[in-house]
Amino acid sequence: MFSFFSVFSYLQWLTLAFSFVLKPVALDNPQSSITNEVETPSSGWRITNTKGKPLTGRFLHITDMHPDEFYRDGATVDHYCHDYKHASANSKSSKAGFLSPGPGFECDSSPSLINKTLDWFSKHIENDYGGIDFIIWTGDNSRHDNDNHFPRTKSEIITSNEKIVDKMIETFPDVPIVAAIGNNDVYPHNIMEGGSSSMTQALAGAWDALIPTQEKHVFEKGGYYMVEVIPHRLAVIAFNSLYFSTKNAAVDGCPKKDPDDPGSFHIRWLRIQFLLLRQRKMNAWLASHVPPTRDQWYIDCYDAFADLLYEFRDVIVGQLYGHMNINHFVFLEFNKPPVDTSTLQSRDLEVATAQPKYVKTLIENQYGELPFVPDKPSSKFMDETVGKFSLASVGGSIVPEMFPNFRIYTYNTSGLNPRPSDLDGNVVVSDSFPKNYTSLVDELFEDKTTEDNEDLFISNYESMKKNSKRKKKKKKNHRKKKIQPGALGPAYVPMTFTPLSFQQIFLNTSDYMDATSETEVDYKLLYDSRDQPYNMPSLTVPDYMRLARRIAGVCESKKKKKKRRYREITYTYLWHAYIGALPRLGDPDDF
Residue (28 or 140) nearer to Zn ion, CB: 140
For Zn ion, what does the binding mask look like between residues 93 and 132, x meaning CB under 5 A?
----------------------------------------
Question: Closest approach of Cβ 457 to Zn ion, in Å?
Answer: 28
Residue (182 or 396) nearer to Zn ion, CB: 182
Residue span binding Zn ion (CB under 5 A) among the ranges 137-145, 242-250, 300-308, 563-571: 137-145
Could you tell me the CA-to-CA distances from 569 to 231, 331, 577 in Å, in that order?
Answer: 39, 19, 12
Dist CA 540 CA 495 (whole Å): 10
Query: Which of 190, 220, 188 lies closest to 202 in space, CA to CA?
Result: 220
Q: What phi and psi, each to the nearest 5 degrees, are found at residue 389?
A: -100, 145
Residue span binding Zn ion (CB under 5 A) among the ranges 108-116, 175-183, 256-264, 488-496: 175-183
Question: Closest approach of Cβ 245 to Zn ion, in Å?
Answer: 10
Residue (183 or 412) nearer to Zn ion, CB: 183
**For Zn ion, which residue of 48, 76, 160, 183 counts as binding (CB under 5 A)?**
183
Question: Closest approach of Cβ 190 to Zn ion, in Å?
Answer: 9
Residue nearest to Zn ion (CB): 323
Interface of this chain with Zn ion, residues 417 to 436, rule: CB under 5 A: none
Could you tell me the CA-to-CA distances from 525 to 125, 253, 411, 499, 529 in Å, in that order?
Answer: 12, 40, 18, 19, 11
Question: Closest approach of Cβ 524 to Zn ion, in Å?
Answer: 25
Residue span binding Zn ion (CB under 5 A) among the ranges 176-184, 243-251, 343-351, 516-524: 176-184
Instruction: Calculate the dihedral angle through the C-alpha atoms of 192, 197, 200, 201, rounding to the nearest 10 degrees.
Output: -170
Binding of Zn ion by 459 (CB under 5 A): no
Question: Closest approach of Cβ 221 to Zn ion, in Å?
Answer: 22
Dist CA 103 CA 403 (whole Å): 6
Question: Closest approach of Cβ 140 to Zn ion, in Å?
Answer: 4
Query: Which of 442, 449, 435, 448 lies closest to 6 in space, CA to CA?
Result: 442
Residues touching Zn ion, count (CB under 5 A): 4
The counts of H helices and E strands in the chain are: 15, 12
10 Å CB burial of residue 5 (0-12, 13-18, 19+) is middle
**For Zn ion, which residue of 140, 258, 364, 422 counts as binding (CB under 5 A)?**
140
Residue span binding Zn ion (CB under 5 A) among the ranges 12-20, 179-187, 416-424, 551-559: 179-187
Task: Decide if 206 contacts 163 (C-beta within 8 A).
Answer: no
Question: Closest approach of Cβ 355 to Zn ion, in Å?
Answer: 15
Residue (140 or 261) nearer to Zn ion, CB: 140
Residue (180 or 267) nearer to Zn ion, CB: 180
Cis peptide before 188 (omega within 30 of 0): yes
Residue span binding Zn ion (CB under 5 A) among the ranges 119-127, 134-142, 266-274, 471-479: 134-142
Residue (49 or 183) nearer to Zn ion, CB: 183
Residue (165 or 515) nearer to Zn ion, CB: 165
Question: Closest approach of Cβ 400 to Zn ion, in Å?
Answer: 15
Residue span binding Zn ion (CB under 5 A) among the ranges 44-52, 136-144, 213-221, 438-446: 136-144
Residue (138 or 570) nearer to Zn ion, CB: 138
Question: Closest approach of Cβ 184 to Zn ion, in Å?
Answer: 6
Question: Closest approach of Cβ 397 to Zn ion, in Å?
Answer: 9
Question: Closest approach of Cβ 264 to Zn ion, in Å?
Answer: 23
Question: Closest approach of Cβ 54 to Zn ion, in Å?
Answer: 34
Residue span binding Zn ion (CB under 5 A) among the ranges 139-147, 393-401, 461-469, 522-530: 139-147
Residue (139 or 259) nearer to Zn ion, CB: 139
Helices (H), 312-404: 357-365, 379-384
Question: Closest approach of Cβ 201 to Zn ion, in Å?
Answer: 22
Instruction: Quickly count: other Cβ atoms within 10 Å of residue 391's Cβ.
Output: 22
Interface of this chain with Zn ion, residues 318 to 337, rule: CB under 5 A: 323
Residue (56 or 63) nearer to Zn ion, CB: 63
Contacts 24+ apart (CB under 8 A), 96-100: 96/71, 96/72, 97/73, 97/512, 97/513, 97/514, 97/515, 98/73, 98/515, 98/516, 98/517, 98/519, 99/509, 99/512, 99/513, 99/515, 99/519, 99/521, 100/400, 100/404, 100/509, 100/512
10 Å CB burial of residue 445 (0-12, 13-18, 19+) is middle
Residue (183 or 341) nearer to Zn ion, CB: 183
Q: Which residues contact 308 (CB under 8 A, 6 or more apart)?
A: 267, 270, 271, 274
Interface of this chain with Zn ion, residues 268 to 327, rule: CB under 5 A: 323
Instruction: Quickly count: other Cβ atoms within 10 Å of residue 108's Cβ.
Output: 29
Q: Which residues contact 227 (CB under 8 A, 6 or more apart)?
A: 50, 176, 178, 210, 211, 212, 215, 235, 236, 238
Vertex 155: Cα angle to 213 and 265 (nearest 5): 50
Binding stretches for Zn ion (CB under 5 A):
140, 182-183, 323
